[in-house]
Structure 1
Amino acid sequence: MHIEHLTTQVSASDQLSVEDVQQIANMGVELLVCNRPDGEDEGQTPYADIAAEAKRLGMEPVLMPFSSYQITESDRDKFITLIETRKRIHTYCRSGARCKRLWRQANSVVGGEEEYNRCHTTESNA
């Protein structure tokens, strides 16, 4: 898992496994957002499995799936609503790229924090 801290509030990563969810919880994440449709790739961990572990660890799972480059205004507006909660958010998809695109679109509307320097990343083989 490769975690990129986009701001002090929002981070993004590639696909999570159930085992990765503990590390996300340890970061103080309150909202765990999935931007990946189930069944996109063979062997992908189902959202329901990750959501169940997130709930067990005290996080609120949020499903906001969309295909890469298919972000709608509705997706952007829903993510803005999540940002406005001021809760710590982690979002994930296949590579993290679509999560970052969604965050950039939402952040440009709300005028939020500038993106962190690329040195704020975390690698894990867990």
Structure 2
Amino acid sequence: MEIRQISEDYSVTGQIVPADVAQIRAAGFRSVICNRPDGEQVDQPAQDEVRAAVEAAGMTYRYIPVVSGQMTADNVADQARALEELPTPVLAYCRSGGRCTNLFLAIQQSRG
């Protein structure tokens, strides 16, 4: 798992699995956002499995699925709201971390 810090309170990574959660918690993250829709690939864990592991570790979880290449204004607004509400620091994941990064950049652009 390669975690890339985007801002002081926001980092991104590719797909995580429940076994990664202890390492995420140990790294100091307090919240996890899943930006990957279930079923993109047959071998990816269901987001409910990841949610259960995240919450069992005492962190907060949010599911904001974004279809690859089809980010919407609603996705950006939902991510912005999550970043305002969730305990920080936040780790967001998708297949590669790209959608999570693009959402963050879109939020920054919308704020001028």
Q: Shared topology, TM-score over 0.5? A: yes
- Native 8 Å contact 1:80 1:107 kept in 2: no
Inter-partner Cα distance in structure 2 for 1:108 and 1:89? 19
Percent of aligned pairs sharing the same letter:
31
Inter-partner Cα distance in structure 2 for 1:12 and 1:29? 11
TM-score of the two chains, using structure 1 as the length reference: 0.81
Measured against aligned partners, the alpha-carbon deviations of 1:67-116 in whole angstroms (never above 9, x if no partner) come to 112111111111111222362111001111111111110122346xxxxx
Structure 2 residue 90 is the aligned partner of structure 1 residue 89: yes
TM-score of the two chains, using structure 2 as the length reference: 0.91
Aligned residues: 111
Structure 2 residue 55 is the aligned partner of structure 1 residue 55: yes
Name the SS for the 1:61 alignment partner.
Answer: strand
Deviation at 1:27, TM superposition (A): 2.1
Inter-partner Cα distance in structure 1 for 2:23 and 2:109? 29
In structure 1, runs of 5+ residues without a counterpart are: 112-126
Name the SS for the 1:48 alignment partner.
Answer: helix
- Native 8 Å contact 2:62 2:82 kept in 1: no
1:18 aligned residue = 18
